[in-house]
Amino acid sequence: MKTPKRSFLSVLSGKYKGRRIDCPEGVRPLTGLSKKSLFDILNPFISGVKFLDLFAGTGSVGLEALSRGAAHAVFVEKSPQITLLIRKNIENTGAASGDYSIIASDAQNYLENTASKFGIIFIGPPYPLMLDKNFMNVVFGALESGGIAICQHRTGCDFDFPQKPIRTKVYGVTTIDFYKKE
């Protein structure tokens, strides 16, 4: 029997720079150029912010936010097995337990039931998943005034959100849209 293929990522910058992030087969993390570009754009806003990583997968994006100075990161992932991987990845960085929360939940259910507000929300759904056009309304409900929501999706896929992005970056098959709550 063939052993499942695993790949590894790493934290790109900040206090956890170079720490390895385990990535199992079947999980599509934001990597390389697109992650670097995303955090170059977010750099002026990340320090001290409460960061929400929806559809967290490996936890790569939330870990990068913590490494670059986010005050707290919440990782929301539906799969209990993947939440265990996120915990392992975070523990491998040495992050303090008070700096993060890991929630095993459906993203929309979490958003509809949280009283927390976030300065930055990253949305990275699996590419086959089509988000409801009203999903961004629920996201905006958990976003602080002046906060930023970022949605990663397959290039060419349009979720038809009522809000319009303030900025869009395309990296081959990956597109990242930025939204701001005024």
**pLDDT, tens digit, for every residue of 121-156?**
999 998 878 898 899 999 999 999 999 999 999 998
> Does pLDDT of 4 surpass 50?
no
Read off the pLDDT band of 5 (50, 70, 90).
very low
- 115 within domain boundaries: yes
> Does pLDDT of 1 surpass 60?
no
- 78 within domain boundaries: yes
Helix residue ranges, H only, the chain: 32-46, 60-67, 80-93, 107-113, 135-141
The CATH number for 140's domain is 3.40.50.150
Q: Find the length of the chain.
A: 182
Within a 10 A sphere around the Cβ of 96, how many other Cβ atoms? 9
Beta carbons of 120 and 148 less than 8 angstroms apart:
yes
- 1 within domain boundaries: no
Beta carbons of 62 and 73 less than 8 angstroms apart:
yes
What total number of domains does the chain contain? 1
The whole domain housing 153 covers 6-180
- 173 within domain boundaries: yes
